[in-house]
Amino acid sequence: MPNGEHQTALEPHHGAGRYVAVWVALCALTVGTLLASRLSLGPPWHLLVALAIAAAKAGLVALFFMHLWDQPGVNRLVFATSLVFVALLIGLVLLDSATRFPLANPPNERTLRFEPPSFETHVQPGEREQGEPGAIGRPPARE
Amino acid sequence: MPELTARAAPPLAHHFVDMRQQTEAARLGMWLFLASEVLLFTGLFTAYSIYRYLYAGVFEEASRKGVELWAGTTNTFVLITSSLTVALAIHFARLGRGKLAAALLGVSLLLGCAFLGIKAIEYANHFHEGQLPGKFYTFAEVQGPGASMFFTLYFIMTGLHGLHVIAGMTVLAVMAVRAWREEFGPEHYAPIEIAGLYWHLVDLIWIFLYPLLYLI
């Protein structure tokens, strides 16, 4: 190893074979995700499988090509923190969309098929006993 | 390695104790920048998630009929291979074999050109077929709400990624010249390693764009 004579070699320097092995694994995973997408799995699974394979490939690139495996320390923390914010942003925004009253989302496949709500669907729980069903949330009647 | 002994002492800025500290500081700075890049793309991935949630059926149809699977798959292999050549270039630059490192970076640049060329063919097809954002959308095979939004997101995400490819190729070209001049060695290799980090991030983002735009 030519840098053996230098005392300031920063960290263990692995051979080129490891990069080729990672490249083979990345190619195999790409073929895998291509084949999995042709299987027509069910609605949640095709997306989950594709994203899991993409995450595995990204992990290989980050750990070996980007040397996070060899270089301990704060770089890992920085990258992991950015991933936490990715999960927060996408996760919370999706939760927001998924838990909205349908008509609060912009017009889409589901809302365009949405039957106009009848008068009764606006009745809140327990409201009927108070005399005027459907009053909560309805704009005041104009004379 | 005759070049090793002939090389001048690596540049050490006076505010660092030694090369090790300087290299680690440079790496940390680059990782912080890469984190901000990740968050830049996260904004677009979030927009994609919302519209895919709202228009799941149309997005799948547009992905099946509107984009060329062969192009996306080929580009994935092209970018993965370019990442390999960049990683090998850094490896050989550290061993003091600057000419070989420069040649490997040259291969990476050619692969980057191939990526952009395939992307250009795809863009030309999209323009021809009217698969365009907003009111310019005239693709008859996929209609309905959300169809043009798929291509709005497609163009923004692949376009921003393409800009990153161009920026990364510029940086790699500079590093190829510096490696050819035998500037790097076992102690001084932070510039080429950091340029490699940027290129790997470009690859990383494509790894997620490929299934989301071409495979779903």
- Residue entry with tokens 């980090």: B197
Same domain, A1 and A67: yes
Of B27, B50, B211, the CB nearest to A97: B50
Predicted confidence at residue B113, as pLDDT, reads 97
Same domain, A115 and A53: no
| Cβ within 8 Å, pair A43-B54 | no
Domain enclosing residue B112, as ranges: 35-215
Q: How would you write the pLDDT of chain B (216 residues) with one tens digit per residue?
A: 444 544 566 788 888 998 888 999 999 999 999 999 999 999 999 999 999 998 888 898 898 888 999 999 999 999 999 999 999 999 999 999 999 999 999 999 999 999 999 999 999 999 998 888 888 888 888 888 888 899 999 999 999 999 999 999 999 999 999 999 999 988 899 999 999 999 999 999 999 999 999 988
Same domain, A64 and A100: no
* Domain CATH for B124: 1.20.120.80
Residue A55 CA to residue B142 CA, distance in Å, equals 30
Domain boundary among A71, A89, A113: A71
Neighbours of B135 (CB within 10 A): 7
Q: Are the beta carbons of A75 and A82 closer than 8 angstroms?
A: no
Residue B216 CA to residue B207 CA, distance in Å, equals 13
Predicted confidence at residue A1, as pLDDT, reads 38
> Is residue A136, in this structure, part of any structural domain at all?
no
ipTM score for this prediction: 0.89
Predicted confidence at residue A111, as pLDDT, reads 66
Q: What value, to the nearest 5°, has the Cα angle with vertex B74 and ends B73 and B78? A: 120
Same domain, A8 and A25: yes
DSSP letters, B118-174, are HHHHHHHHHHHHT--SGGG---SSS-STTHHHHHHHHHHHHHHHHHHHHHHHHHHHH
Neighbours of B149 (CB within 10 A): 24
Predicted confidence at residue B70, as pLDDT, reads 93
Q: Sign of the CA dihedral B33, B36, B41, B45?
A: positive
Helices assigned H by DSSP within chain B? 2-6, 19-54, 56-66, 69-94, 98-129, 147-180, 190-210
Q: How many CB pairs (< 8 A) connect A and B?
A: 158
- Measured between CA atoms, how close is A9 to chain B, in angstroms? 6
User: A51: which chain B residues are within 8 Å (Cβ-Cβ)?
Assistant: 208, 211
pLDDT band at A140, cuts 50/70/90?
low
Q: What value, to the nearest 5°, has the Cα angle with vertex A54 and ends A19 and B156? A: 110
Same domain, A59 and A19: yes
> Is residue B202, in this structure, part of any structural domain at all?
yes
Predicted confidence at residue A116, as pLDDT, reads 59
Predicted confidence at residue A45, as pLDDT, reads 86
Same domain, A57 and A94: no
Residue range A43-100, pLDDT digits in tens: 788 889 999 999 999 999 999 999 998 887 789 999 999 999 999 999 999 999 888 8
> Is residue A138, in this structure, part of any structural domain at all?
no
Same domain, A66 and A81: no
> Is residue B7, in this structure, part of any structural domain at all?
no
> Is residue B129, in this structure, part of any structural domain at all?
yes
* Environment class of A84 (CB within 10 Å of its CB; exposed 0-12, middle 13-18, buried 19+): exposed
Burial B173-205, CB ≥16 within 10 A → b, else e:
bebbebbbebbbbbbbbbbbbbbbbbbbbbbbb
Predicted confidence at residue A129, as pLDDT, reads 59
Q: How much is the mean pLDDT over chain A?
A: 78
Domain boundary among A71, A92, A109: A71
Structural domain count, chain A: 2
CA B24 from centre of chain: 23
Q: Which two tokens stand for residue A86?
A: 């990715």
Of B81, B91, B211, the CB nearest to A51: B211
> Is residue A129, in this structure, part of any structural domain at all?
no
Domain enclosing residue A84, as ranges: 73-123
Element spanning A74, H or E: helix A74-98
User: Pick the residue with more confidence: A133 or B69?
Assistant: B69
Of A16, A37, A82, the CB nearest to B215: A37
| Cβ within 8 Å, pair A9-B186 | yes
Predicted confidence at residue B14, as pLDDT, reads 87
Same domain, A80 and A67: no
A35, A63, A66: best mutation site toward chain B, by most B Cβ within 10 Å? A66
B146 conformational bin, left if phi > 0, alpha if psi -120 to 50, beta if neither: left
The percent of residues in chain A predicted with pLDDT above 90, rounded, is 43
Q: Are the beta carbons of B6 and B98 closer than 8 angstroms?
A: no
Structural domain count, chain B: 1
Q: Is the predicted pLDDT of residue A128 greater than 80, yes or no?
A: no
Same domain, A81 and A51: no
Same domain, A10 and A42: yes
Q: How many CA atoms lie within 13 A of A54 on its CB side?
A: 23
> Is residue B29, in this structure, part of any structural domain at all?
no
Q: Are the beta carbons of A109 and B54 closer than 8 angstroms?
A: yes
Q: Sign of the CA dihedral B165, B171, B174, B178?
A: negative
